[in-house]
Each structure stands twice: as structure tokens, then as C-alpha cells.
């Protein structure tokens, strides 16, 4: 599996750290209730198919990426910088 | 019952009789019934845990108007492909008593099921590689003894006597000793599923294969039944026991679970003469190994560490496992790898499972087994059956609550890494 870093180009999966579903971009307000925080920290859609997820290019430029990847085929469909992703 | 076993079940006498009469008396292990329109309890998922639940509902609670709905064939998921390890070496309240209970059920399982599940208490040895790790394992061993299980702290010479083929002088992680859990071991994974299936079926439970649940009917906050590829089936209680597919089935009830599905790879070599007599874990290298009764070396390592439903992994993890294998036991370099596979693991944020009610009346969930569900099979079924039958959690599974993630109370942080997705 190779991921297309927008800064470094296509690189081996070994260079990246996987954070999980790209929910971290939708952080609730600090005073949100327990349900909102449970939703954000723990609950996941987790359905097979195309999946938005956060990867860090640890052994490369260090950028955080939002990668779209199919969890059934492992096909990588695109990546953009988390700093430029829709929120 | 005993007499039954001589005539209809399995016994030495029966094998002799069938051997002398052309093996014409054997019959299928279970029926292939049509689904009825209504049951008292529906179990979604005909894997190890679902079949165990059905067996214990029938045998412990006398509830036999039960259907197990399986979209494929019985035991075709993770119970049909895993590394078969059975152990009770936890040091975490909530999990400790649960797995301790499970091991005791394993020890009586073959007699209970009248089925040879090839449970082999060959012993597990967890290696350690530093003074600090020795202290931690000594403490864990004491905890295991205190909870009524067994543990022996082996020094280096002790490990050398049992496992002379390991490389004790490896430069990165020289072996200091090991924690020896003699009652741990392995079991034949398929036979476990088949034994529970036969146990449930013989008491009247309907095991319905090729029957995929496509919807869960809920009215006024209570479950009414399920929609399937073989028609609607009504029930007042429905248990979801679907391992790697937990999120998909829960979504039919409008639920989201605290689960990310990951892939775990495992590997088997060609059949070899007996060389490894125990189960060995090499935590520092993310590697564990045992030898099957067919002779194949069965081994694996860590998750691939990204979300996946692919049932196969990627090369980096396979390479890592091979490197660890060669580091620990260079002798393995002579073996040829026969096959590898990946299973879908429903990973919870704290690495521990869930056996609980849901917010929907009559809907129950059994999920989150991460990469350790096989050894849990009897206790998972036993305690889930208790919950389904009595509506109260079984004492040894009382801490496996679904709401621990919402309240933050009773988080069962399996690897002491914090309760967060991707850390277990």
C-alpha cells in the first residue's frame, strides 16, 4: 500500500502513522455534552468501503493527511493536507 | 445421556462399532431446518460465540426456541481461521475473572459437548527481556495465582530447558526468562464451532445457514424481529454476535459502536515433525508461535494498524513478523511458509470486549473481541446466554459494559496505552 503525500509524492505505507477515521477534524465545542464527546472520541461509522482517515507522514515531511481509501480493496483514492481539508 | 453417547454420540465403543460395520451409522452433526416465523430468541451470527450462546441458552437455561442466523456457513468467519490460543493470564479486573471463567469452561468443554475439540493444555510461555519486564511478569503471575489460575516464573535456565532452540543471545532482546502458564494452550478452532453447533442443534435450536440478516425491526424502542434473505422472522429478543461485522449489523438498528475494524494477519508453514511443544509469545518482537497437530507452525504478530475489511494484509507486517521469527528462533528459516491470511478484528478503544444490552429493548450486543476472541468463546457464549435469558449480566461479564466509553467509568485498558482508537 502506497499513499500519495501532496508534498512528497507517492510513498510506502511504512513512512506513515495511522491515526484513524478523520473525525478529529470535527471536534465538539469544549462545553458540548457527554454524548457529543462520546461520538467524537469513541463512536465510529466503521462501514466497509470508502473511508476518510488521518495519516501522518511521520518518516517524511511530517504533514497530517486526510486520505480517502477503500477498506475492502485497500485502494487509495486520494490524499490532501489536513490543513486544507473541508471541516 | 452417558448411554446415549454410546449409541448416538461419540465414544470409543462407537468408533469401534462403526469401524467394524463400514462407517455407515454416522449421521450429519446438525439439521438444516427452514426458519420458523417466530422464535423466543434470535442470535445473529453462526460463529463460535453465537453457537456457544445458543448451546448455553439450551443447556443452562432450557430455552430452545432459538434460531442462529448465519449469512454464510457455520464457523466460516474468525473461528474458522485463527491461531487457536486458549489462556487466562490477564491482570486486569473485568477481564481477569472473565477469562479465568472461560478457561474453566474450556477444561470441561469436551465432556460437556461430547465432542473432541482437541483442547491441548500444552502451556504458554511469555518471554521477558529485562529486569523491569521480569518484575512486571512476576506481579502478573502472582495475580494469576491469586485469582485461582496458575503461573510459574521461569529464569533463563528454566526457559532454556523447555525451549532450547531459541536464540537466547540475540543482541536486541536477550532472553531473561519467561512466565509459564501451564493450563494455557490451544484447541482445534473448527471443532469448537462444530461442537457448540451440535450441542445447540441436538437440544432443538435451529441453525439456519445462508440466511443473511438485512434489517432489524424496531417499534417504539423495542425489537420485534429481523428481516432476512429468507423472509422476516419475529422475536422479542435479538442478540448480535457478529465479530468483525459488528458495526454493519448495529447500523441496521441505527447504532454506532465504539469499534474500528482492523486486519490481523497470521501465517502457517508446511507440516513439520514436532518441534515446538508450547505456545511462545515474544512480546518485544510482536510475535507468537505454536505448532498445530498437523505439524504446521502457526504464528502471527501485530495488527496491520489501519482500518480494513479486506481479510488480507500488506507486506510490511508480514516482513516484520518474519524478522521477529528469525530473531527469536533462527531454526524457522528452514521452514517454508504455506499460507497467510487476514481476519477482521473489531477493535474497541480500550482493547476489551462488550457483552451488554443496548438502548433498544430486547436488543443485545456481543462484540469488540479485538484479536483475542477465540479463547473467550465458551465464556462469551455462557455469559451472553445468561444475559439473554435473565436480563441481568453474568457476574464475570458485568464489567464488559457498552456505556463505559460514554461515562468513562470502568474502562478496561487492556494494554495500558490509554483508551483511544488505534492504540490497542
Q: What is the DSSP string of B325-360?
A: HHHH-GGGGGSPEEEEEEEEEEE-TTS--EEEE-SS
pLDDT of residue A86: 74
pLDDT tens digits, B24-82: 999 999 999 999 999 999 999 999 999 999 999 999 999 999 999 999 999 999 999 99
| Gap between the Cα atoms of B158 and B176, Å rounded | 10
Q: Where in chain B is the domain with CATH 3.50.50.60?
A: 31-88+91-115+189-257+350-407
| Gap between the Cα atoms of B338 and B326, Å rounded | 17
Model confidence at B422, pLDDT cuts 50, 70, 90, reads confident
Model confidence at B208, pLDDT cuts 50, 70, 90, reads very high
pLDDT of residue B417: 86
pLDDT of residue B383: 98
pLDDT of residue B55: 98
pLDDT tens digits, A3-16: 999 999 999 999 99
Q: Is B271 exposed, middle or buried (0-12, 13-18, 19+ CB in 10 A)?
A: middle
C-alpha cell at A78: 486520494
Q: Where in chain B is the domain with CATH 3.30.9.10?
A: 124-185+260-347
Range B124-185+260-347 has CATH code 3.30.9.10 = yes
Question: CB B247 to CB A47 under 8 A?
Answer: yes
What are the E-state strand segments in chain A?
2-5, 9-12, 17-21, 50-56, 64-70, 76-81
pLDDT of residue B288: 97
Range B31-88+91-115+189-257+350-407 has CATH code 3.30.1960.10 = no
| Gap between the Cα atoms of B397 and B283, Å rounded | 27
pLDDT of residue B358: 98
CB of A43 within 8 Å of any CB in chain B? yes
Mutation target among B307, B311, B403 for the A interface, most CBs of A within 10 A = B307
pLDDT of residue B4: 67
Model confidence at B418, pLDDT cuts 50, 70, 90, reads confident
What ipTM does the predicted assembly reach?
A: 0.95
CB of B316 within 8 Å of any CB in chain A? yes
Range A2-84 has CATH code 3.30.2270.10 = yes
pLDDT tens digits, A40-75: 999 999 999 999 999 999 999 999 999 999 999 999
Is pLDDT of B1 > 90?
no
Is pLDDT of B416 > 60?
yes
pLDDT tens digits, B227-270: 999 999 999 999 999 999 999 999 999 999 999 999 999 999 99
Is pLDDT of B405 > 60?
yes
Distances (CA, A) of B354 to B366, B367, B406: 6, 5, 13
Of B193, B243, B251, which Cα lies nearest the Cα of B368? B243
- Residue corresponding to grid cell 448451546: B55
pLDDT of residue A67: 97
| Gap between the Cα atoms of A12 and B384, Å rounded | 43
pLDDT of residue A87: 66
Model confidence at B160, pLDDT cuts 50, 70, 90, reads very high
Q: What is the mean pLDDT of chain B?
A: 95
CB of B260 within 8 Å of any CB in chain A? yes
Instruction: Quote the minimal CA–CA distance from A49 to chain B in Å.
Output: 8
Q: What percent of chain B has pLDDT over 70?
A: 98
| Gap between the Cα atoms of B281 and A26, Å rounded | 40
Question: CB A42 to CB B421 under 8 A?
Answer: yes
pLDDT of residue B335: 96
pLDDT of residue B6: 64
pLDDT of residue B414: 86
Tell me which of B422 and B62 has the higher pLDDT.
B62
Of B168, B186, B169, which Cα lies nearest the Cα of B178? B168
Q: Which of A14, A38, A74 sits opposite B308 (nearest CB)?
A: A74
Q: Read off the pLDDT of each residue in B328-335 and give the average, rounded to a whole number.
A: 95
Instruction: Quote the minimal CA–CA distance from A12 to chain B in Å.
Output: 9
Q: Read off the pLDDT of each residue in B319-330 and give the average, rounded to a whole number.
A: 95
Q: Do residues B109 and B380 touch, judged by C-beta distance below 8 A?
A: no
Question: CB B307 to CB A21 under 8 A?
Answer: yes
A44 contacts on B by Cβ (under 8 Å): 247, 256-260, 421
Question: CB B421 to CB A38 under 8 A?
Answer: no
pLDDT of residue B424: 79
Model confidence at B304, pLDDT cuts 50, 70, 90, reads very high
pLDDT of residue B33: 98
Amino acid at each position: 500500500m502506497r499513499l500519495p503525500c501532496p508534498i512528497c509524492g507517492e510513498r510506502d505505507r511504512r513512512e506513515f502513522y495511522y491515526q484513524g477515521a478523520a473525525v478529529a477534524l470535527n471536534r465538539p465545542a469544549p462545553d458540548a455534552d457527554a454524548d457529543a464527546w462520546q461520538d467524537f472520541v469513541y463512536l465510529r461509522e466503521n462501514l466497509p468501503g470508502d473511508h476518510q482517515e488521518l495519516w501522518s507522514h511521520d518518516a517524511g515531511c511530517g504533514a497530517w493527511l486526510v486520505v480517502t481509501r477503500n477498506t475492502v480493496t485497500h485502494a487509495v483514492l486520494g490524499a490532501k493536507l489536513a490543513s486544507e481539508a473541508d471541516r | 445421556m452417558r448411554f446415549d453417547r454410546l449409541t448416538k454420540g461419540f465414544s470409543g465403543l462407537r468408533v469401534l462399532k462403526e469401524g467394524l460395520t463400514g462407517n455407515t451409522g454416522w449421521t450429519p452433526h446438525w439439521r438444516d431446518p427452514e426458519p420458523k416465523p417466530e422464535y423466543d430468541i434470535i442470535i445473529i451470527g453462526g460463529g463460535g460465540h453465537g453457537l456457544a450462546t445458543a448451546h448455553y441458552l439450551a443447556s443452562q437455561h432450557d430455552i430452545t426456541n432459538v434460531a442462529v442466523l448465519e449469512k454464510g456457513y457455520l464457523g466460516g468467519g474468525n473461528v474458522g481461521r485463527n491461531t487457536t490460543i486458549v489462556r487466562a493470564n490477564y491482570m486486569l479486573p473485568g477481564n481477569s475473572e472473565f477469562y479465568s471463567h472461560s478457561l474453566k469452561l474450556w477444561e470441561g468443554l469436551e465432556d460437556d459437548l461430547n465432542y473432541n475439540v482437541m483442547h491441548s493444555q500444552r502451556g504458554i510461555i511469555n518471554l521477558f527481556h529485562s529486569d523491569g519486564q521480569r518484575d512486571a511478569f512476576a506481579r502478573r503471575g502472582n495475580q494469576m495465582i491469586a485469582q485461582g489460575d496458575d503461573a510459574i516464573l521461569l529464569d533463563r535456565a528454566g526457559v532454556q530447558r523447555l525451549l532450547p532452540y531459541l536464540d537466547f543471545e540475540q543482541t536486541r532482546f536477550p532472553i531473561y526468562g519467561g512466565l509459564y502458564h501451564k493450563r494455557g494452550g490451544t484447541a482445534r478452532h473448527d471443532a469448537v464451532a462444530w461442537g457448540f453447533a451440535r450441542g445447540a442443534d441436538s437440544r432443538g435450536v435451529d441453525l439456519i445457514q445462508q440466511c443473511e440478516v438485512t434489517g432489524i425491526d424496531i417499534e417504539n424502542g423495542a425489537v420485534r424481529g429481523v428481516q432476512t434473505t429468507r423472509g422476516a422472522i419475529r422475536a422479542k429478543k435479538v442478540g448480535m454476535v457478529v465479530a468483525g461485522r459488528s458495526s454493519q449489523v448495529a447500523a441496521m438498528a441505527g447504532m454506532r459502536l465504539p469499534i474500528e475494524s482492523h486486519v490481523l494477519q497470521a501465517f502457517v508453514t508446511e507440516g513439520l515433525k514436532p518441534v515446538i511443544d508450547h505456545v511462545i509469545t515474544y512480546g518485544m518482537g510482536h510475535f507468537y508461535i505454536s505448532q498445530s497437530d498437523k505439524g504446521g507452525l502457526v504464528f502471527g504478530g501485530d495488527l496491520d494498524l489501519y482500518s480494513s475489511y479486506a481479510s488480507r494484509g500488506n507486506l510490511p507486517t508480514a516482513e516484520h513478523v518474519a524478522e521477529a521469527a528469525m530473531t527469536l528462533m533462527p531454526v524457522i528459516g528452514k521452514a517454508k511458509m504455506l499460507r497467510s491470511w487476514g481476519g477482521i478484528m473489531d477493535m474497541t478503544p480500550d482493547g476489551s470486549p462488550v457483552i451488554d444490552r443496548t438502548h433498544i429493548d430486547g436488543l443485545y450486543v456481543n462484540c469488540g473481541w479485538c484479536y483475542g476472541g477465540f479463547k473467550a468463546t465458551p465464556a462469551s457464549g455462557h455469559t451472553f446466554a445468561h444475559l439473554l435469558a435473565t436480563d441481568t449480566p453474568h457476574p464475570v461479564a458485568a464489567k464488559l459494559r457498552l456505556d463505559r466509553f460514554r461515562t468513562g467509568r470502568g474502562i478496561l485498558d487492556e494494554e495500558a496505552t490509554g483508551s483511544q482508537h488505534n492504540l490497542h
